[in-house]
Amino acid sequence: MNEVESGRIDGDAAIALHEPELPAPFEVVEPAELLSPLVFSSPHSGRIYPARFLAAARLDAASLRRSEDAYVDELFAASQAVGAPMLRALFPRAYLDLNREPYELDPKLFDGPLPSFANTRSLRVAAGLGTIPRVVADAREIYASRIPLDEALRRIEALYKPYHAALRGLMERSQRRFGFAVLVDCHSMPSTSARESAAAARADKKRVDFVIGDRYGVSAAPVVVGGVEERLRARGYHVQRNRPYAGGFITEHFGRPAAGWHAVQIEVSRGLYMDEATLEKNARFQTVVADLAEVVAGLAQDIELDESLGGPRRMAAE
């Protein structure tokens, strides 16, 4: 990370511990044997906080963690069982958001003019949630003062671009091996938030446990999304598709079914598996892990049996 030391928020703890610099900004968790065209990505579950970032923030570490997709990489650990890799970020979303365009930059955050190629007008930037976020999830300002533009560009070069290059490499490898690739982009969402008004929530009378996003049918073949949704419903979960999360930049960018690349975003309600106030895992954590393992196994089987996903099929044993 090019930092002298970093602050790690380990497990359920909410304090920063100083450790030596990380050897890499992300980790590829490979299966013992590559058996599936599935590729898993967890871009928002990182919990190692650079010490320089913590020093520049006006918020404490516990407040910064409100933006984390805490433990999502653990929820989808079944990727290993089906013979698929998982790419997971080690740095936090509050430091740099990988599910954005590379240069969605907020003019309110930086102390100098932005380059002409920066996207300063997206809705995400307007909300303070660009590539370098200005606020955490509850709209509280992260930084005590504006930061240098060079710092943002350094993070993009050192963190964002290598992560996306690694994800592209995993997708290309799966397509070479199996004839197509299916990305599962793994996220979590608050159990209650501004995504729906209180009146709408009362009218619906249903909690939302999972949101499946496929960019309104554009980023993945129906077999990818339909099987996930059906299996979650069969386990008693309330599932919505594309509302309010249709898939972010990663789903949009990597979901190209005509080219043999399919992408689906899965959002898990945090209230299902953890205490949202303390960020501690709750008693249902292992149940959610087990249910997702069954869903992932079913998805792996669905795409293995389906002939419509694109490209010539190759068996893993070849």
DSSP code, position 159:
I
CB atoms within 10 A of CB 301: 13
| Res. 135: pLDDT tops 90 | yes
Q: What is the pLDDT of residues 33-46, one digit of tens each?
A: 999 999 999 999 99
| Res. 265: pLDDT tops 50 | yes
> Residue 29: what pLDDT?
97
Q: What is the pLDDT of residues 55-95, one digit of tens each?
A: 999 999 999 999 999 999 999 999 999 999 999 999 999 99
**Residue 109 Cα distances to 114, 133, 134, 149, angstroms:** 10, 8, 6, 9
**CA–CA separation, 10 vs 69, rounded Å?**
14
> Residue 314: what pLDDT?
46
Identify the three-state secondary structure at position 49. strand
Q: Residue 130 in contact with residue 122, Cβ under 8 Å?
A: yes
| Res. 108: pLDDT tops 80 | yes
Q: Which residues, including other chains, have CB under 8 Å from residue 146's CB and lie 6 or more apart?
A: 109, 110, 111
Q: What is the pLDDT of residues 185-233, one digit of tens each?
A: 999 999 964 344 444 445 455 689 999 999 999 999 999 999 999 999 9
**CA–CA separation, 105 vs 109, rounded Å?**
8
Residue of 314 and 303 predicted with greater confidence: 303
5-92+159-305 sits in which CATH class? alpha beta
> Residue 23: what pLDDT?
56
Q: Where are the domains of the chain?
A: 5-92+159-305
Of the chain, the end-to-end C-alpha distance in Å amounts to: 39
> Residue 154: what pLDDT?
95
Residue of 194 and 106 predicted with greater confidence: 106
Percent of the chain with pLDDT strictly greater than 90? 81
